[in-house]
Every structure is written in structure tokens, then in C-alpha cells.
């Protein structure tokens, strides 16, 4: 099974650029998780709601043009596909969590808050990390085999950011949020890329639109795949598709048995 995750920074713009079709042609994912779709159902074109090959499920934010997540799943996966949204203990009015269950796996696509708008937003981000941790732990404790992926909006370690010293303590590389990710890892949730590539630097998933950051590879690795430790032996590969254009993020693609 090939699972892809991509913060598309506006799905309608991605389609207009032709980059979504290009990605689907090259990668042909069985499951595609998207974050920051920024669209309600009534704003989506026919190809985004009635694709010949994919079931298409959206969880939109109440605020127009903001946040939102989506999962596409190949129709050949039938009849075992179910979708759900949100998580216990959290009012998901911003469309941040969407879940797919198929073939014994529970797969969550997540758009974590940025937290940079205000002190209240910052505290909300930290709380989201903790609520989400409790949520996936409850799923695991209930016997579900859990994978979660998406835009975590945090570089976990210095190796995950091009300029760690300059950004130390800033939102996205703040010790309080990094400690939340460390708590996941300590609890048996594996950052697949870093486990497979413990010393590989200069691989990022987000670049600012400013100062030719992507061209110069001045980036941040803030998009991840996490799996429960018991699932790690089933992972074949994980790739950051840094050459795929269309968003300020690149897609991440994992193959798993």
C-alpha cells in the first residue's frame, strides 16, 4: 500500500496549476492525505468530488479559505473503507483531523495548528499536541493499528531544520512543542523518516516563499509519517518528493505492507 501525505496549501490552486494530476500520474498513491485544502464542498470542481479512481472525502473548516483536510482512497480498496472526522475532547471546527480505516489499519491525516497568531493560539497548539497524543494512544489501546501523517508544524530536532541556531525558540522550533513530539516518540510512535535515516540532513518538507528559500534548500522538515512501533517492520520505503511543485510543502510518500 502506497500512502501519500501533502500539505497542498489550497487544493483548487493545485489543480489549476496541473500539479495534482502530475503527482497522481507519477506516484499513483493508494491513499492520499491532504492538509490545508482551503475549500468547502460547494467550491470543489467535478474532478475533486467524482474522480474515476478515488473515493474523495473532505473535512472543511467553518472559516472560508482556511485549513481543512481530505483523504482520497482508491476505489479498489472497497468494501472495507470507512471515514470519520475529529477526535475526542476537541472541537474540530477547523477541519484538522480526518481518519480512514481500511484493511486493519487506522490512518489519520492531520493538520496541526501553527500557533503563531497569538498567545492563545500558541497555548491551543500545545494543547492540540497533547489531545492528539491521548487520542491515538486510545486507538492503539483499543487494538487498532495506527498510522498518522500530515503537517505537524514543528521541526523535532536540529537536523530537521536548515538553520537551527537562528530559529531556536521560535514557533515551529520551540522547545515546548518539540518536547510534545518527543513525548510521542517516547510512547512508541516512530518518526519513520528519522528512524530509517538517523543521520541524513538537508531533507526538508517546507520552504518559505521568500528569498529563494526552496532553490537554496533553506527548509524545515515539518511534515511526517508516524507509525506505532509494531508496524515499523512492515514499512518498505519513505520518500520526501522535494522536486514536486505546486505548494510550499512537498509530498511525503510511504510504502507499507
Per-residue pLDDT of the chain (257 residues; tens, 9 = 90+): 999 999 999 999 999 999 999 999 999 999 999 999 999 888 999 889 999 999 999 999 999 999 999 999 999 876 567 899 999 889 999 999 999 998 889 999 999 999 999 999 999 999 999 999 999 999 999 999 999 999 999 999 999 999 999 999 999 999 999 999 999 999 999 999 999 999 999 999 999 999 999 999 999 999 999 999 999 999 999 999 999 999 999 999 999 99
Q: What is the pLDDT of residue 42?
A: 86
Q: What is the pLDDT of residue 78?
A: 65
Q: What is the pLDDT of residue 80?
A: 67
Q: What is the pLDDT of residue 43?
A: 92
Q: Per DSSP, what are the bridge partners of residue 82?
A: 101
- N-term to C-term CA, the chain: 6
Q: What is the pLDDT of residue 89?
A: 86
Q: Domain spans of the chain? A: 2-256
Total-model pTM:
0.96
Q: What is the pLDDT of residue 81?
A: 77
- Which of 99, 117, 118, 101 shows the shortest CA–CA distance to 109? 99
CB 153 within 8 Å of CB 175: no
The position carrying cell 502506497 is 2
Distance CA 70, CA 38 (A): 10
- List residues with catalytic annotation: 151
What element of type H or E holds 164?
A: helix 164-167
- Which of 31, 144, 39, 137 shows the shortest CA–CA distance to 88? 137
CA triplet 121, 32, 236: central angle to 5 degrees?
Answer: 105
Distance CA 47, CA 33 (A): 16
CATH number 3.60.10.10 given to 2-256: yes
| Sheet strands side by side (includes 189-191) | 82-85, 97-102, 105-111, 145-151, 223-228, 189-191
Q: What is the pLDDT of residue 79?
A: 54
Amino acid at each position: 500500500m502506497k500512502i501519500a501525505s501533502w500539505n497542498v496549501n489550497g487544493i483548487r490552486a493545485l489543480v489549476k496549476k496541473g500539479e495534482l494530476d502530475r503527482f497522481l500520474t507519477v506516484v499513483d498513491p493508494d491513499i492520499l492525505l491532504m492538509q490545508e485544502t482551503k475549500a468547502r464542498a460547494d467550491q470543489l470542481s467535478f474532478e475533486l468530488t467524482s474522480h474515476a479512481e478515488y473515493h474523495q472525502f473532505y473535512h472543511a473548516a467553518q472559516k472560508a479559505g482556511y485549513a481543512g483536510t481530505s483523504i482520497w482512497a482508491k476505489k479498489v480498496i472497497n468494501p472495507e473503507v470507512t471515514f470519520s472526522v475529529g477526535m475526542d475532547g476537541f472541537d474540530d471546527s477547523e477541519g484538522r483531523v480526518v481518519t480512514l480505516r481500511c484493511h486493519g489499519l487506522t490512518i489519520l491525516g492531520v493538520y496541526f495548528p501553527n500557533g503563531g497568531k497569538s498567545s492563545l493560539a500558541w497555548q491551543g497548539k500545545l494543547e492540540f499536541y497533547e489531545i492528539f497524543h491521548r487520542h491515538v494512544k486510545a486507538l492503539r489501546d483499543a487494538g487498532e493499528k495506527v498510522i498518522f501523517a500530515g503537517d505537524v508544524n514543528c521541526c523535532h530536532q536540529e537536523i530537521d531544520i536548515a538553520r537551527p541556531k537562528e530559529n531556536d525558540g521560535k514557533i515551529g522550533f520551540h522547545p515546548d512543542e518539540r518536547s510534545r513530539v518527543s513525548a510521542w516518540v517516547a510512547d512508541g510512535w516512530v518518526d519513520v523518516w528519522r528512524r530509517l535515516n538517523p543521520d541524513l540532513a538537508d531533507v526538508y518538507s517546507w520552504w518559505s516563499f521568500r528569498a529563494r528559500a526552496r532553490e537554496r534548500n533553506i527548509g524545515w522538515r515539518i511534515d511526517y509519517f508516524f507509525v506505532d512501533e509494531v508496524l515499523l517492520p512492515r514499512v518498505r520505503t519513505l520518500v520526501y518528493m522535494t522536486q514536486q511543485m505546486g505548494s510550499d510543502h512537498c509530498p511525503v510518500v510511504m510504502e507499507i505492507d
